[in-house]
Amino acid sequence: MLDLWHTGIVTKLIDETHNTRRFWIQVPDMDRFDFKPGQFVTLDLPIHEKKNKRWRSYSIASHPDGTNTFELVIVLLEGGAGSTYLFNEIKVGSELLLRGPQGVFVLPQPLDKELFLICTGTGIAPFRSMARYIHEHAVPHQPIHLIFGVRYAHDLLYAEEMKQLAQDLPGFNYIPTLSREENWAGRKGYVHAIYEEMLQDKRPANFFLCGWKAMIDEAKQRIQAMGYDRHDIHQELYG
């Protein structure tokens, strides 16, 4: 299954922010595209002769809904060959070669500890999938805290949807934090201060980290410095 490549058809595109785009991809040769929330797909893009330089992996942003369509949210990286191709060449109806789902960045079973979902940028994708899955399937859970760091308010992905989910899903807290926005009534600064503040009592918790390497490295260091075990920390690295 994992090594099989499938042809996906792009069925819908929406610009989510000034530099991110949502891609809906249908896999016609499958009745349903089954995956666990948190998993990713790999795209083979015609941007290099060498296979491993053509492959780009993206976390699935949608939750498994029984259809053969899934969603990715992708940021346009300056000088990034993969994202430049996807933004400039891919239209509705375009084909993409993909394989997956893959990955072990998935929810623990059962959800018997508080869950801290800590992300930056498009790192929110797997957490959106997880939170929506928990909501849709009424999965029993302890409190869940989605701590999402970006620079400015216009960089927040799925903001309205997450606010709504915080109302609809008991025990789900959405905590966007902005590092450079001046006129912002919510949390300012970086994600780390938030979980450190919330966990001064060192209660049992699971940490899921998704985003750029610098954020993940710092979070791992800080979480272990607070007295948590490295086995409480799960990560998905971007870039």
* 121 and 230 part of one domain: yes
- The alpha carbon of residue 217 and the mean position of all alpha carbons in its chain are separated, in whole angstroms, by 17
pLDDT-based confidence at residue 78 (cuts at 50, 70, 90): very high
169-200 pLDDT per residue, tens: 999 999 999 999 999 999 999 999 999 999 99
Phi, psi angles (nearest 5°) of residue 108: -70, 155
Q: How much is the mean pLDDT over the chain? A: 96
* 160 and 207 part of one domain: yes
**Of 74, 3, 9, 83, nearest in space to 47 by CA:** 83
* 50 and 124 part of one domain: no
* 97 and 123 part of one domain: no
CA 207, 212, 213, 216: dihedral to nearest 10 degrees? -20
Structure tokens at 207: 């940490």
pLDDT-based confidence at residue 51 (cuts at 50, 70, 90): confident
pLDDT of residue 86: 98
pLDDT of residue 239: 62
* 135 and 19 part of one domain: no
Structure tokens at 210: 């998704």
Q: Which of 102, 123, 145 is the last residue of a domain?
A: 102
CA distance 86 to 63: 22
* 75 and 154 part of one domain: no
Phi, psi angles (nearest 5°) of residue 8: -105, 150
In CATH, what number is assigned to the domain containing residue 218?
Answer: 3.40.50.80
pLDDT-based confidence at residue 52 (cuts at 50, 70, 90): confident
In CATH, what number is assigned to the domain containing residue 23?
Answer: 2.40.30.10
Is residue 10 in some structural domain?
yes
pLDDT of residue 69: 98
CA distance 45 to 10: 14
- CB 235 within 8 Å of CB 209: yes
Q: Which of 54, 74, 102 is the last residue of a domain?
A: 102
Q: Which of 102, 129, 158 is the last residue of a domain?
A: 102
Is residue 208 in some structural domain?
yes
* 85 and 147 part of one domain: no
Number of domains in the chain: 2
Is residue 151 in some structural domain?
yes
* 196 and 159 part of one domain: yes
* 70 and 123 part of one domain: no
Is residue 128 in some structural domain?
yes
Is residue 51 in some structural domain?
yes
Is residue 42 in some structural domain?
yes
* 189 and 118 part of one domain: yes
> Which residue segment(s) compose the domain that 175 sits in?
114-238
pLDDT at 1 over 50: no
Is residue 107 in some structural domain?
no
204-239 pLDDT per residue, tens: 999 999 999 999 999 999 999 999 999 999 999 886
Average pLDDT over residues 104-114: 96
Is residue 144 in some structural domain?
yes
For the residues of the chain, what is the DSSP string, one character each?
A: -TT--EEEEEEEEEEEETTEEEEEEE-TT-S-----TT-EEEEE-TT-SSHHHHEEEEE--SPP-SSSEEEEEEE--TT-HHHHHHHHH--TT-EEEEEEEE-S----SSB-SEEEEEEEGGGGHHHHHHHHHHHHTT--BS-EEEEEEESSGGG-TTHHHHHHHHHHSTTEEEEEEESS-SS-SSEES-HHHHHHHHTTT---EEEEEEEEHHHHHHHHHHHHHTT--GGGEEEEEE-
Amino acid identity for residue 82 in this structure: G
* 75 and 129 part of one domain: no
* 227 and 123 part of one domain: yes
